[in-house]
Amino acid sequence: MGLVLLQNARIVDPANGLDMMGELLIAEDKIAAVGEKIPAEKAAGAEAINLKGKVVCPGLIDMHVHLREPGQSAKETIKTGTAAAARGGFTTVVCMPNTNPAIDNPSTVAFVMERCRKEALVNVLITGAISKGLEGEAMAPIGGLKSAGVVAITDDGRCIQNNDLMRRAVEYAQLFDLLVMDHCQDTSATSDGVMHAGYWSTRLGLQGWPSLGEELMVARNILLAKGIGARMYCQHISSAESVSMIRKAKSDGVKIYAETCPHYVTLTDMALAGSDEFWKGDGAGYFDVFTGSCKGMKPPRWSRYHTNFKMNPPLGSDEDRAALIEGLRDGTLDVISSDHAPHCGHEKEVEYDVAPFGIIGLETELGMALTSLYHRKVLSLSEIIRKFTAAPAELLRIDKGTLSVGAAADITVFDPEEEWVYDAAQGASKSQNSPFDGWPVKGRVHGTWVAGRQVYSLEKQDF
Establish whether 339 is a catalytic residue: yes
Is-contact 99 378, C-beta < 8 A?
Answer: no
Q: Which of 13, 155, 339, 437 is labelled catalytic? A: 339
Paired strand residues for 17? none
Residues 6+ apart with CB under 8 A from 99: 67, 68, 69, 70, 71, 72, 108, 112
C-alpha 253/C-alpha 52 separation (Å) is 44
Residue 387 CB partners (closer than 8 Å, separation 6+): 328, 333, 334, 335, 336, 379
Distance CA 385, CA 392 (A): 11
Whether residue 67 contacts residue 78, with contact meaning beta carbons closer than 8 Å, is answered with yes
Return all residues near 361 (Cβ < 8 A) that are at least 6 apart.
261, 262, 263, 338, 339, 340, 434, 436
Q: What is the largest CA-CA distance in the chain?
A: 69
Give the residue numbers marked as catalytic: 339
